[in-house]
């Protein structure tokens, strides 16, 4: 038995190959060992077949690789502190209003 120290490269599958693999996968009956052999040959998972099938059902006929969208703006590190202080300020304002009401009632 030999062990390899080099990492294996991810298989890049084009849209046409995805279509062909999915058609071949679906041509075998459920539970057939050839389905598993096909997935192992390409290093795929059954969940990927499901996702590709769902994309075809939704109308994405090309099965092109999805590209990530733009990243959101980085979060301000002080935003959590500002939110906490705003909540605390509102709570203290309410306590002050309650205390002033009690004092006003006691003066009468």
Q: Report pLDDT digits (tens) over 58-82.
A: 876 667 766 778 888 888 889 989 9
**What pLDDT shows up at residue 5?**
56
Domain boundaries, the chain: 15-58, 77-108
Does residue 1 have a pLDDT over 50?
A: no
Residues 17-60: pLDDT tens digits? 888 999 999 999 999 999 999 999 989 999 999 988 888 888 76
Whole-prediction pTM value? Answer: 0.50
What angle is formed at CA 43 by the lines to CA 40 and CA 49, rounded to 5 degrees? 90
Phi/psi at 105 (5° precision): -70, -40
């Amino acid at each position: 038995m030999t062990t390899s120290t080099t990492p294996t490269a991810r298989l890049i599958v084009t849209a046409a190959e995805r279509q062909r693999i999915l058609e071949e996968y679906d041509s075998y009956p459920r539970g057939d060992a050839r389905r598993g052999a096909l997935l192992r040959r390409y290093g795929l998972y059954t969940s990927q077949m499901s996702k590709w099938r769902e994309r075809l059902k939704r109308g994405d006929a090309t099965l092109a690789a999805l590209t990530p969208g733009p990243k959101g703006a980085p979060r301000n590190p002080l935003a959590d502190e500002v939110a906490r202080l705003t909540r605390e300020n509102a709570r203290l304002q309410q306590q002050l209003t309650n205390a002033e009401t009690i004092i006003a009632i006691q003066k009468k």
